[in-house]
Amino acid sequence: MELILNGERRSLSMASTVAALVSELNLQGRFAIEVNGEIVTRSRYAERRLDAEDVIEIVRAIGGG
C-alpha cells in the first residue's frame, strides 16, 4: 500500500492501521501522528485504519526558540 509519509511516497506492506505503521517503521520515543490533517491519539492507533494515499505526518520535538 502506498502512503504519503512525511511528504514522501512510501510503499508499506503491513501498515493497515496506525499501530501497524508504528510497528513497521519501528518508531521509538515520543512522537505524534496526524492522518489526513487529523490527530490520531495514541489510544486510537490500533483502531485507526489506513487507506492507500493517506497523508501521514509523524512529528517529534526538536531544538527551537
Partner 1 sequence: MPTLTSQANDEITPPLIIAGVDYESRLLVGTGKYRDFDQTRAAIEASGAEIVTVAIRRTNIGQQKDDPNLLDYLSPDKYTILPNTAGCYDVDSAVRTCRLARELLDGHDLVKLEVLGDRKTLYPNVLDTLKAAEILCRDGFKVMVYTTDDPLLAKRLEEIGCVAVMPLAAPIGSGLGIQNRYSIREIVETLKVPVIVDAGVGTASDASIAMELGCAAVLMNTAIAEARDPVRMARAMKHAVIGGREAFLAGRMPRRAYASASSPIDGTFFN
Q: Which residues bind partner 1 (CB under 8 A)?
A: 5-8, 10, 25-34, 37, 39, 41-42, 57-65
Nearest to 59 by CA among 50, 45, 44, 35: 35
Q: How far is the CB of 36 from partner 1 (least distance, A)?
A: 12
Q: How far is the CB of 47 from partner 1 (least distance, A)?
A: 16
Terminal Cα distance for the chain, rounded: 38
Using the minimum distance from each CB to partner 1, give the nearer residue, 42 or 49. 42
Cβ atoms of 31 and 6 within 8 Å: the answer is: no
- For 18, the grid coordinates are 496506525
Using the minimum distance from each CB to partner 1, give the nearer residue, 16 or 57. 57
